[in-house]
Every structure is written in C-alpha cells, then in structure tokens.
C-alpha cells in the first residue's frame, strides 16, 4: 500500500497515514486506519491523553446533541463504543470502564420544562428512547438528589467510559495493528501536494499519503504552514472532584439547561450542573463553558466555586464531602457546533478530525470510522456532507 | 489590604513577621496549625496543661519568638491555604472560606519527612520520625513502647531523645551514614562549637538510656501481622556485615526532609534543584524573591537549611518585601540585610556539612518490591508504576494518567516525593526527574460547602 515518495533530504520515514494528536479522536482514528491495513504513524507533542481527552468526563450521552447531523453521528458512536469496549478489553487487555448506567436530564423547579419537552420531542422523533419522571420518580431513581425539581427525562441507553483509559487503549490497539507512536514529538511544519504530505517533527521529516489532523484546539496551529483557516476555538471547561463521598450518584445527572449552554454561541462564562460517579469511587462535578485561548489550561477558583455551588443545589448532602482536585480542559468548538471531518479544500490529502466541542469522547468512535472510510474510499457510516470542512459554516446550527 | 501575607508560622514565618513589624508593614500570618511555631518551635495546643517538668528550652524560646511575632502581625491560626491566584490567597478556616488579597506574599511553608517506601512501611506502628516528634512534642502522646528509630541525620537523635523522655524504650537508633563518612567530615564541624552543645543535649540521655547505635544500616523491611512486630536491618555498602531482626512495636523512620512545592508551582514560580533535599524547590534571589513578582519564599520551603537558616531567610524576606513595596530604598534595604547575609552564609555552611555527612541515598530506592505500596491514597503498588514506566511513561503526570498514582487525598505530595528516585534508579535513568505532578487547586481537601461559598469574584 505504501507508495514511496522520498523528496530527498532528511526524510526519516514513509507511511500511509500520519495522525497528529493522540487524544481520544486521533487515537481512535489511528486504530481504525491501522486496522484497515494502513501503515500508520501517530505524532504526539506530549503523550496520549495529555490534551483535552485527559481533562474531561466520559459521558456517552445522546440528549445534549443540538442538530440532526450531530445526533446522527453520535448515535453511531454510541453503538460503536459498546462494541469497542469489548474489542479493546479482549485485544489489548484494557478495561475502558464502559458502563451503561443511563442519564437523567433534570428539570429544576426554577424552570426549563418547555425547553426540555421540545428537546425530548425532537429526540423521540429520531428514535431515542426516554421516559418522563415526575418529582417523585426522580427521588426514587436518584435518592440523594434532593434539590427542588419539576421532574426529569430518563435516558436508559446513555453510558460512560473512562476517557484516559480509552485513549490509551485505542493507542495500544493501533500499535498492535502495526502503528507507531512518536510521543513527545511536536509537529513543526506541514506541506501537502495532490498526492501526499510531508510532516516535519523534531525527529526529521515523515512523508505519507495522508495526514489526519486530530490535534483538538491546537489543530489550527498544526496546519498553520498551509495557510488555511481552521475554525476551531477553545471553549474551556472545569471540573471539581470529590473523594470519599457520603452520597451515592447512580445515574449520570445533568440539568436540562446544559443543552442550552452547549448550543449557545455565548463566549462568556456559563455553568450547568453535571454530576457523575466513577468506578474509582470519586464524583465528578461539572462544568463550565467559556471561550478562551489555546494556552489557557489553568483552573480558575471563582469558576470552580460556582460549579460546586450549583452541584449542591441538586445534591445538598455533598456539602460535607471533600473536594480534592480540579482540572480544566479545552473543548474544540466550531461556529456551527458540528465537528470538522474530511479533507481541506486546497489540500485533498489533509484530513481534519476535530471540532467535537463537548462531545469528542462520544464522537471519536464514529469519527474514526468516517475518516477510515473517506481514506479507503469505502461507504461512510453516515452521509459525510454535514461534517466536511468544505461546508458553509453557519453559526448556531440548531434543530427544529 | 495587608502589605504582607505570610503563609506558615514556623521559624521563617515568625522571623519575617517580627522584621516586617519593625519595618512598619501591615502583616497577616496564617498557619493551618492551631498553634504557631512550625516544626522547630512546636507548641502544645492552648487547651493543654503544660507538664511542670522538664521544661523544654526550645519550646520556651519558641514561646518568646511567637509572642514577639504576635505583637507585630495579625495571626490567623487553623487556616489552611488551598489556592493562590496572583495577589489572592484562598483560605479554609475551619470550614469558613476566605480570600486574602495582599501586596506581597511570603511562602514559609516548611518541609516534612521525606517519604521513603520499603516493604512494610504502611503497617500500623510504622510512622515517620516527624510524626513521632509531633505526637510527643505537640500532643504529649506516647506512640509505642519499644522502638527503633531509623533513617539519616541528627534529627534521629532529637526524636529518639524525645521518645525516651516520653517513656518509650528506644532499643536502637539506626543511622544510614557510615562512621567513616562522619569522621571524614569532623574537621568541618569544628567552627560550630555551639552545635556540640546541642548534640550532647540529645546524645547524653540516649546513652544513659542504653540505646544501641548502629551506623551504615537501613531498615530493609518492617514485618508483622496487623502491626509492626519486627524490623529487618540490613547494612548498606561499607557497613557491618549482617542482617538482623529486632522486635519492636514502633518504628520511626526519617531519611531527611522534603518540601512541598505545590503552592509555589500553582503560583507559577520557577524551580531549581536543591541538592540537600534532592528535589526541585522555588528559585529565589538574595532578597528571597521568587520569579513571580510580589511572591517571596523563605525557610525550609526553598531548600534544606535547618531552623537558623530558616529564621534568617525569613528576616531577609521581610526586608525584601519592604523593598518591593518601596518602603525601603535599595541602599537602606542592603544596609539592613548585609549582616544577615553574612550570618546566613555561615549558617548555610553548617547546613552543607550536614548534607554532606548525611547525603541523600539512592540505594534506598532498591528496597521496595513490586508488591510495596507507593501511593497510599490509591493503593498503587510499585510493580504497577514500574510497568507504566517500562511501557513508556516519561514523567510523573504520565504515570498518574495511566495508574491513578497521585490522584488521591494527598494529591501526590507523598508518592510524588518518593517516585522520582525509584524510577530513575530502577527503571529509566532518562526519566524526567525534575518533573512533578501538576499542581491544581484545591491544594488541600476542602469541603464542598466551603468551596461553594468561596466568594466568586465574577
Ligand atoms: C470539562 C470537560 C468535560 C467534557 N466532558 C465530555 C463528555 O462527558 N463526553 C464527551 O464526549 N466529551 C466531553 N468533553 C469534550 C472532549 O473532552 C473533547 O471533545 C475531546 O477530548 C477532544 O479530543 P481530541 O482528541 O480532539 O483532542 P485532545 O484530547 O486535546 O487531543 C489533541 C492532541 O493533539 C496534541 N497536539 C497538539 N498540538 C500538536 C502538535 N503541534 N504536534 C503534535 N501533537 C499535537 C495534543 O498534545 C493532544 O494530545 C469534555 C470536555 C471538557 C473540557
Ligand atoms: C518533624 C520535624 C522536626 C524537625 N526538627 C528540627 C530540629 O530539631 N532542628 C532543626 O534545625 N530543624 C528541624 N527540622 C527542620 C525544620 O523544618 C526547620 O528547621 C524549621 O522548622 C523550618 O522552619 P520553616 O519556618 O521553614 O518551616 P516549618 O517550621 O515547617 O513551618 C512551616 C509552617 O507552615 C505551615 N503550612 C504549610 N503549608 C501550609 C498551608 N498550605 N496553609 C497554611 N499553613 C501551612 C505549617 O503548618 C507549618 O507550621 C524539623 C523538621 C521536621 C519536619
């Protein structure tokens, strides 16, 4: 499959595809491509899961999607993660902690029921399973959720994975199919032609037929030398972690207004409650949204304070639990809240795989299948047009 | 808004407070302990009835220093700092959140025992030398009845003497440094006669007590069912040539000190390598100013030195703060600091002798087996970490993502200090030894209700 095209000089390697970025998206793409038989090299500036995929949650949730194509890709991914969990456990012995625990979209008494109903009507129309719970039903499903609520929609199929483990597992699986990981090697320069790409790293130059850019919020920097504008901006999110909690959180619990914060184009700080428990016994409290710059990965204490306060509105018994840690991650956001998957207009051998904002863990599995299909010329899991970087980007694409 | 916020009321913080008071600075001192004094001047809690005798001269002296400092500054005890963000320092005072904004901040947060994993170190009855000292000196608690005190440095004698005074039978004091190493450095200690007086104060009661002294040995393992019953002593190269077992119900271990740098790193200070502590510490200039404007550091928080070095650095830091605040001109500040710098040079000279006499020992890294727990909070064993590094983890943060090591209650303060040695000497010499876990707030566990009320600024 490899077509050797040495342009002379410092070329140190030739392969079929180079994947830049070993976050959940790049790692998943590398696995899919290597499994399809391509010779793959992963070039990562740091190490796997050190970008946003190591500073997020692992929700595989359907109801926070904001448009038809968004939901379509997510549903494929949702199914694929269940399969991948088994495949990765059997293949590389890593348990990615897949748990189909269901999620609750909680409607606080302070309002939001109309928006929530509209969202559920749309989801139901698309075939997403859910069930309405009244306040008593919520109490029964989630006994520690004691804040005043009007009710909730229960989504039994929603799940979670451990994103760091999943990223590592995808890297290991790619390596088992022959891929090479070049960690601690930032991409310094990218050149492309009609038939291939040349990528400069600290090690030397790699050339390949294809380049997959999965560098999250740093993707614009990676292709800067191509003089293309990749419309991805960082939307920062912070999480607080509780250990030794007296409270049990059974499902994934998110407040209904979360979906509005996802869909909004507001660049200012917004906080919506997301609570999940993990297998290690900790509880994650999220999260915030705020547009920032790619170097801003620090936790801001005033934001952390608001996140915790909001969680206590729903789970008042968490008041006595100890917060032991926090972190911040940068979601790669696009103007229309849809990912960028496919070749660049002027550079047909450069494929973008980024821009999943707050759903990159969820979206990674289907994105990888899509990228592999585009490169191999195979049928794509869903029609690719809505995600192509060549689309016209209208701000705020929204359903209904 | 205060001119100077001092974090830590040990010798460094107290000396800084007194000096700052003399310079007319409006000063606040915070310490998470409910009593001031830090490690060296540790006091009983106020509710304690001081035992009539014997009176501890160090505690006496500490009481005087504390009372002078309290006249010079506002004290907030029982307040732990869990975040820093430019001029803002976030406090947790018994569950009440607070934020102090000051013109200058001095980190005088001190050090604690260097954690040294070996088989059995997590057994009940195995405690650090510092913990033993704190129990005896700060709480008047007798931590066991038959003890071995092991590790390296003069601090072992201090602890052993305090244990004896508390009624513990100290059967053996086990020092890792060989007699030869000690004798070689003897001439360099001669200019410091006062230290001999200090030494004899601890040594005399120990000799009278009949404690055995062993040099060139370490504790290779602690054994017992639910509590330590025996310790296995093993010679280091050049020491006496036999391994033997000693029956105890208390093992106190202290191989020197390490300084947590989380607060400094969160503030963005650049670090330098300190050979005495064998770890990175905040870099500072001769005014004790760090690389972050308005932020100073003094005492054991910025390198091994002992109590007198700490106090001198604290005093200089207060002058440095007054200089940064333009309360002192450069020449005035230099005039005040010059004699202190001279004394500091001398005091550091002695600290260097001690560092050379009781060097940091990489051989200790040979002790843990695959089964030995290295991360006590998450129960991660050495074998798991070893495997992660063999599979390509380059620094501690990568070890953390793949093993959960460092993710628990202490946020890597303990395992983060022990792991670099283990990894560089046993798995990967190229491992990034200076890299540390990323510091993120809260630096101490904080109740959710405290955090929720922590006064958002926007
Ligand atoms: C607080 C928070 C909570 C979230 N919760 C969820 C959730 O529950 N479910 C969900 O689906 N999504 C969630 N997300 C979103 C999700 O985390 C992201 O969409 C996803 O991690 C993006 O993955 P990525 O692989 O595109 O990017 P990253 O994980 O950021 O990977 C990009 C990689 O590229 C590397 N790189 C950058 N520049 C270069 C270069 N020049 N050369 C080489 N390599 C380079 C980086 O080092 C990095 O490893 C959350 C995000 C946040 C912030
Ligand atoms: C157990 C022990 C015993 C020692 N005994 C001796 C001895 O006998 N002789 C000797 O020369 N040296 C001794 N040392 C070394 C000793 O650390 C120094 O000599 C001296 O105490 C250092 O002074 P300092 O002011 O730098 O720090 P410390 O005395 O350690 O004081 C630091 C203070 O900062 C406070 N603090 C730390 N972090 C925070 C936070 N986040 N928020 C609020 N407060 C905080 C602590 O509670 C503490 O009171 C000992 C060290 C230890 C650990």
* Alpha carbons A141 and A163: distance in angstroms, whole number: 26
**Confidence at residue B347, expressed as pLDDT on a 0 to 100 scale:** 93
Distances in whole angstroms, Cα of residue A315 to Cα of each of A24, A283, B369, B447: 31, 12, 43, 14
Whether B1 has a pLDDT exceeding 50, the answer reads yes
Tokens of B421: 């040695």
A148–chain B Cβ distance below 8 A for any pair: no
Q: Does residue B90 register a pLDDT over 50?
A: yes
Q: Is the CB of B307 under 6 A from ligand 2?
A: yes
Name residue A325's beta-bridge partners.
Answer: A241
Percent helix, percent strand, percent coil in chain B, to nearest 5: 40, 20, 40
> What's the pLDDT at B124?
96
**pLDDT score recorded for residue B313:** 98
Find where tokens 């005495």 sit: B276
- Sign for the CA dihedral angle at B369, B371, B372, B373 comes to positive
Average pLDDT, chain B: 91
Residues B240 and B136 in one domain: yes
Range of A288-292, A374-378, B240-244, B278-282 with top mean pLDDT: A374-378
Tokens of A169: 């597992």
* B129 and B74 housed in the same domain: no
B401-437 tens-digit pLDDT: 888 888 888 888 888 888 988 998 899 888 877 777 8
What are the strands, taking DSSP E only, across B373-445?
373-375, 380-381
pLDDT, position A10: 67
Report CA B377 to chain centroid distance, whole Å: 20
Task: Answer whether residue B52 shows pLDDT above 60.
Answer: no
**Residue B67 included in any domain:** yes
What separation in angstroms does the CA of A215 have from each of A45, A53, A391, B149, B179?
9, 11, 20, 53, 58
Q: Which two tokens stand for residue B435?
A: 């890299």
Average pLDDT on A315-324 reads 94
Q: What is the pLDDT of residue B191?
A: 85
pLDDT band at residue A280 under the 50/70/90 scheme: confident
Does residue B73 sit within a domain? yes
Domain range for B394 is 368-426
Residue B150 dihedral angles phi and psi, to the nearest 5° = -135, 155
> Can you tell me the distance from the alpha carbon of B120 to that of B116, in angstroms, rounded to the nearest whole number?
11
Rounded-to-integer distance, Cα A164 and Cα A96, Å: 8
Q: Does position A3 have pLDDT exceeding 70, yes or no? A: no
Q: For residue A5, what pLDDT band results from cuts at 50, 70 and 90?
A: very low
Give, as one character, the DSSP assignment of residue A314: H
The superfamily CATH assigns to domain A103-155+233-333 is: D-Amino Acid Oxidase, subunit A, domain 2 (3.30.9.10)
Confirm or reject contact between A144 and chain B (CB < 8 A): no
Q: Identify residues of B whose CB sits under 8 angstroms from chain A CBs.
A: 83, 85, 88, 90, 378, 392-394, 397-398, 401-402, 404, 407-409, 411, 440-442, 445-449, 451-458
Tokens representing residue B427 in the block: 């798995």
Quick check: B237 pLDDT over 80?
Answer: no
pLDDT at res. A398:
43
Instruction: Specify whether B99 is located in the same domain as B15.
Output: yes
- As a whole number, mean pLDDT of residues B441-447 equals 92
- Regarding the beta carbon of B138 and ligand 2, being less than 6 Å apart is answered no
Angle between helices A163-176 and B396-403 (to 10 degrees): 100
pLDDT band of residue A400 (cuts 50, 70, 90) is very low
End-to-end CA distance of chain B: 20
CA of A71 to the centre of ligand 2 (A): 57
Cβ-defined contact of A312 to B452 (cutoff 8 Å): yes
Instruction: Look at residue A395 in the predicted model and tell me its pLDDT.
Output: 57
- Asked if the structure places residue B363 within a domain, the reply is no
A270 interfacial to chain B (CB closer than 8 Å) = no
Task: Clarify whether residues B184 and B76 are in a common domain.
Answer: no
**Can you list the positions of beta strands (E) in B94-145?**
96-101, 104-107, 112-113, 126-128
pLDDT attached to residue B402: 80
Contacts of A168 in chain B (CB under 8 A): 401-402
Residue B230 lies in a domain: yes
| pLDDT (0 to 100) of residue A393 | 74
Question: According to the model, what pLDDT value does residue A7 have?
Answer: 42
Report the number of distinct structural domains present in chain B.
3
Q: Give residue B360's pLDDT.
A: 87
Give B333-362 pLDDT, tens digit per residue: 999 999 999 999 999 998 888 888 898 888
CA distance A239 to B276: 37
Ligand 2 atom having least distance to the Cα of B37: 49
Our CA-based measurement puts residue B453 at a distance from the nearest CA of chain A, in whole angstroms, of 7
**B336, containing H or E segment:** helix B330-357
H-helix or E-strand spanning residue A108: strand A103-108
Q: Are B451 and A305 in contact (CB under 8 A)?
A: yes
Q: Would you state the pLDDT for residue A375?
A: 97
Is B219 a domain residue?
Answer: yes
Domain edge (last residue) among B223, B255, B287: B255
Question: Does residue B166 belong to any structural domain of this protein?
Answer: yes
As a whole number, mean pLDDT of residues A37-53 equals 96
Residue A376: φ, ψ to 5°: -85, -5
Does residue B231 carry a pLDDT above 70? yes
Residue B71 is assigned to a structural domain of this protein: yes
- What is the SS3 assignment for B59-100? HHHHHHHHHHHHHHCEEEECEEEEEEECCEEEEEECCEEEEE
How many A from CA of B376 to the centre of ligand 2? 23
Looking at residue B262, which CATH number applies to its domain?
3.50.50.60
* B14 and B25 in a common domain: yes
Which residue in B152, B150, B116, B177 sits closest to B368, CA to CA? B116
What residue has token string 């891929």?
A: A179
Ligand 1, atom 3, lies closest to the CA of A56
Q: Where are the domains of chain A?
A: 11-81+163-232+336-387, 103-155+233-333
| pLDDT given for residue B456 in this prediction | 55
Q: What is the mean predicted confidence (pLDDT) over B59-84? A: 95
Chain B closest CA to A166's CA: distance in Å?
11
Residues B316 and B190 in one domain: no
Q: What angle do CA B146, B150, B151 make, to 5 degrees?
A: 160
Q: Per the domain annotation, does B319 fall within a domain?
A: yes
pLDDT of residue A304: 92
pLDDT at B330 over 50: yes
* pLDDT band at B139; cut points 50, 70, 90: confident
Residue A9 confidence (pLDDT) above 70? no
C-alpha distance across the termini of chain A, in Å = 45
Q: Which CATH number fits domain A11-81+163-232+336-387: 2.30.30.90, 3.50.50.60, 1.20.1070.10, 3.40.50.1950?
A: 3.50.50.60
Please give the pLDDT value at position B54: 59
Q: What predicted TM-score, i.e. pTM, was given to this entire model?
A: 0.89
- Peptide bond between residue A287 and the one before it cis (omega within 30 degrees of 0): yes
């Amino acid at each position: 499959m490899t077509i050797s095209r040495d342009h002379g000089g410092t070329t140190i390697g030739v392969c079929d595809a180079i994947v830049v970025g070993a976050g959940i998206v790049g790692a998943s793409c590398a696995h899919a491509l290597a499994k399809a038989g391509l010779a793959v090299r992963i070039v990562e500036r740091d190490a796997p899961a050190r970008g946003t995929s190591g500073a997020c949650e692992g929700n595989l949730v359907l109801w926070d999607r904001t448009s038809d194509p968004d939901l379509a890709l997510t549903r494929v991914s949702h199914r694929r993660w269940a399969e991948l969990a088994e495949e990765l456990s059997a293949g590389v012995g890593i348990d990615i902690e897949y748990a189909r625990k269901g999620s609750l979209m909680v409607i606080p008494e302070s309002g939001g029921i109309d928006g929530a109903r509209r969202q559920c009507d749309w989801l139901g129309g698309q075939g997403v399973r859910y069930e309405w719970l009244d306040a008593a039903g919520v109490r029964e499903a989630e006994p520690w959720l004691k804040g005043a609520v009007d009710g909730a929609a229960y989504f039994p199929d929603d799940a979670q994975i451990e994103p760091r483990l999943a990223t590592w597992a995808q890297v290991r699986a790619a390596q088992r199919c022959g891929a090479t990981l070049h960690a601690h090697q930032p991409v310094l320069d990218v050149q492309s032609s009609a038939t291939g790409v040349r990528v400069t790293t600290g090690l030397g130059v790699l050339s390949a037929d294809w380049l997959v850019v999965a560098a999250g919020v740093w993707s614009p920097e990676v292709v800067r030398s191509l003089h293309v504008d990749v419309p991805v901006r960082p939307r920062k999110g912070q999480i607080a972690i509780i250990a030794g909690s007296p409270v049990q959180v059974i499902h994934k619990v998110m407040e209904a207004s979360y979906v509005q914060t996802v869909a909004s184009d507001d660049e200012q700080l917004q906080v919506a409650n997301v609570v999940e428990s993990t297998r290690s016994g900790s509880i994650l409290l999220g999260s915030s949204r705020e547009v920032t710059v790619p170097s801003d990965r620090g936790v801001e204490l005033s934001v952390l304070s608001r996140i915790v306060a909001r969680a206590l509105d729903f789970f008042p018994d968490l008041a006595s639990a100890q917060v032991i840690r926090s972190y911040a991650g940068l979601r790669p956001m696009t103007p229309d809240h849809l990912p960028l998957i496919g070749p660049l207009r002027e550079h047909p051998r450069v494929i973008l795989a980024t821009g999943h904002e707050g759903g990159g863990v969820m979206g990674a599995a289907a994105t990888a299948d899509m990228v592999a299909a585009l490169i191999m010329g195979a049928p794509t899991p869903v029609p690719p047009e809505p995600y192509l970087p060549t689309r016209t980007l209208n701000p705020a694409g929204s359903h209904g | 808004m205060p001119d100077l916020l001092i974090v830590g009321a040990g010798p460094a913080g107290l000396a800084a407070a007194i000096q700052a008071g003399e310079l007319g600075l409006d000063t606040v001192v915070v310490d998470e302990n409910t009593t001031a004094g830090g490690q060296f001047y540790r006091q009983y809690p106020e509710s304690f009835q001081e035992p009539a005798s014997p009176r501890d001269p160090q505690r006496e002296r500490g009481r005087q220093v504390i009372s002078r400092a309290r006249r010079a500054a506002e004290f907030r005890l029982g307040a732990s700092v869990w975040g820093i963000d430019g001029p803002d320092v976030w406090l947790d005072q018994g569950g009440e959140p607070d934020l102090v904004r000051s013109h200058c901040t001095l980190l005088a947060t001190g050090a604690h025992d260097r954690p040294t994993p070996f088989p059995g170190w997590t057994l009940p009855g195995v405690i650090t030398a510092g913990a033993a000292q704190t129990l005896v000196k700060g709480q008047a608690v007798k931590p066991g009845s038959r003890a071995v005190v092991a590790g390296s440095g003069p601090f072992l004698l201090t602890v052993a003497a305090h244990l004896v005074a508390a009624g513990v039978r100290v059967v053996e004091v086990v020092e890792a440094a060989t007699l030869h190493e000690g004798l070689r450095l003897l001439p360099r200690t001669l200019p410091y006669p006062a230290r001999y007086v200090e030494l004899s104060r601890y040594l005399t009661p120990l000799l009278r007590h009949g404690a055995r002294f062993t040099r060139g040995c370490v504790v290779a393992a602690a054994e017992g069912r639910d509590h330590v019953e025996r310790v296995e002593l093993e010679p280091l190269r050049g020491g006496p040539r036999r391994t033997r077992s000693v029956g105890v119900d208390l093992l106190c271990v202290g191989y020197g000190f390490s300084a947590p740098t989380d607060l400094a790193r969160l503030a963005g200070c650049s670090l330098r390598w300190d050979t005495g502590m064998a770890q990175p510490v905040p870099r500072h200039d001769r005014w004790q100013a760090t690389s972050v404007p308005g932020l100073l550091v003094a005492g054991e928080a910025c390198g091994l030195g002992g109590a007198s070095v700490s106090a001198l650095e604290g005093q200089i830091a207060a002058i440095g703060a007054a200089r940064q605040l333009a309360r002192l001109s450069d020449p005035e500040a230099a005039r005040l600091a010059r004699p202190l710098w001279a004394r500091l040079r001398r005091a550091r000279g002695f600290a260097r002798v001690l560092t050379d006499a009781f060097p940091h020992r990489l051989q200790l890294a040979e002790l843990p087996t695959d089964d030995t727990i290295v991360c006590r909070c998450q129960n991660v064993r050495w074998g798991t970490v070893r495997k992660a590094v063999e599979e390509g983890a380059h620094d501690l943060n990568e070890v953390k993502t793949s093993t959960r090591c460092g993710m628990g209650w202490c946020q890597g303060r303990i395992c983060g200090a022990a792991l670099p040695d283990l990894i560089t000497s046993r798995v990967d010499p190229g491992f990034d030894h200076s890299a540390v876990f990323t510091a993120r707030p809260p630096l101490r566990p904080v109740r959710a209700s405290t955090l929720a009320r922590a006064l958002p600024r926007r």
